[in-house]
Amino acid sequence: MRTWAAAWAARLRDMDPRLVDAGLALGLAAASAGVGHLYHPPGWPPFDALAYVLTALTELPLAFRRVAPAAVLLASCAAFAAYLAAGYQPSLNVWAPAVALYGLTAQRPFRTAAAGAALVAAVILYSGLSAPELGLATAVIQAVALPAVVWEFGNNARRVARRNHRLALLTDQLREAQEERARQAVAEEQRRIARELHDVVAHHMSVINVQAGMAGYVFESAPHTARAALDTISATSQEGLRELRRILTLLRSAGESGAFGDWDSPMPGLARLADVAARVRAAGVPVDLTVTGEARPLPPGVELCAYRVVQEALTNVLKHARRDGRQAGATVLVAHTADELCVTVTDDGSGVAGSPGRSGGHPDPAKLATRPGHGLIGMRERARLYGGTVETGPRAEGGFAVRLRLPVAGGTTGP
Q: What's 96's DSSP letter?
A: H
Residue type, 32: S
The predicted structure's pLDDT at residue 328:
80
End-to-end CA distance of the chain: 57
Q: How many helices (H) and strands (E) does the chain have?
A: 12, 7
- DSSP letters for 291-354: EES------HHHHHHHHHHHHHHHHHHHHH-EETTEEPPEEEEEEE-SSEEEEEEEE------S
Delineate the domains of the chain, giving CATH numbers in brackets. Answer: 13-134 (no CATH), 284-415 (3.30.565.10)
User: Is 299 in contact with 411 (CB distance < 8 Å)?
Assistant: no
The predicted structure's pLDDT at residue 324:
63
Q: What's 87's DSSP letter?
A: T
The predicted structure's pLDDT at residue 109:
85
Q: Report the distance separating Cα 192 and Cα 202, nearest Å.
A: 15
Q: Report the distance separating Cα 116 and Cα 122, nearest Å.
A: 10
- Judged on CB neighbours under 10 Å (0-12, 13-18, 19+), 20 is middle
User: Is 398 in contact with 349 (CB distance < 8 Å)?
Assistant: yes
Give backbone dihedrals phi and psi of 305, rounded to 5 degrees, phi first.
-60, -50
- Judged on CB neighbours under 10 Å (0-12, 13-18, 19+), 371 is exposed
The predicted structure's pLDDT at residue 225:
73
pLDDT digit of tens for each residue in the chain (415 aa)?
A: 567 666 666 665 666 777 887 888 888 888 888 887 777 777 788 888 898 899 889 989 988 988 888 999 999 999 999 988 888 888 788 888 989 999 889 888 888 888 988 999 999 888 888 877 777 888 888 888 888 898 888 888 888 888 988 998 899 888 888 888 877 776 776 666 666 666 666 666 777 777 777 677 677 777 777 777 777 777 777 766 766 666 666 555 554 444 444 444 567 888 889 988 888 888 788 899 999 998 888 887 788 888 889 988 888 888 776 666 667 889 999 999 988 999 999 998 875 433 333 333 444 433 333 334 556 777 887 788 788 999 998 988 888 999 999 998 754 444 3
Whole-Å CA distances, 47 to 30, 180, 250, 287, 406? 13, 66, 83, 111, 93
Mode of pairing for the β-strands spanning 389-394 and 400-407 = antiparallel
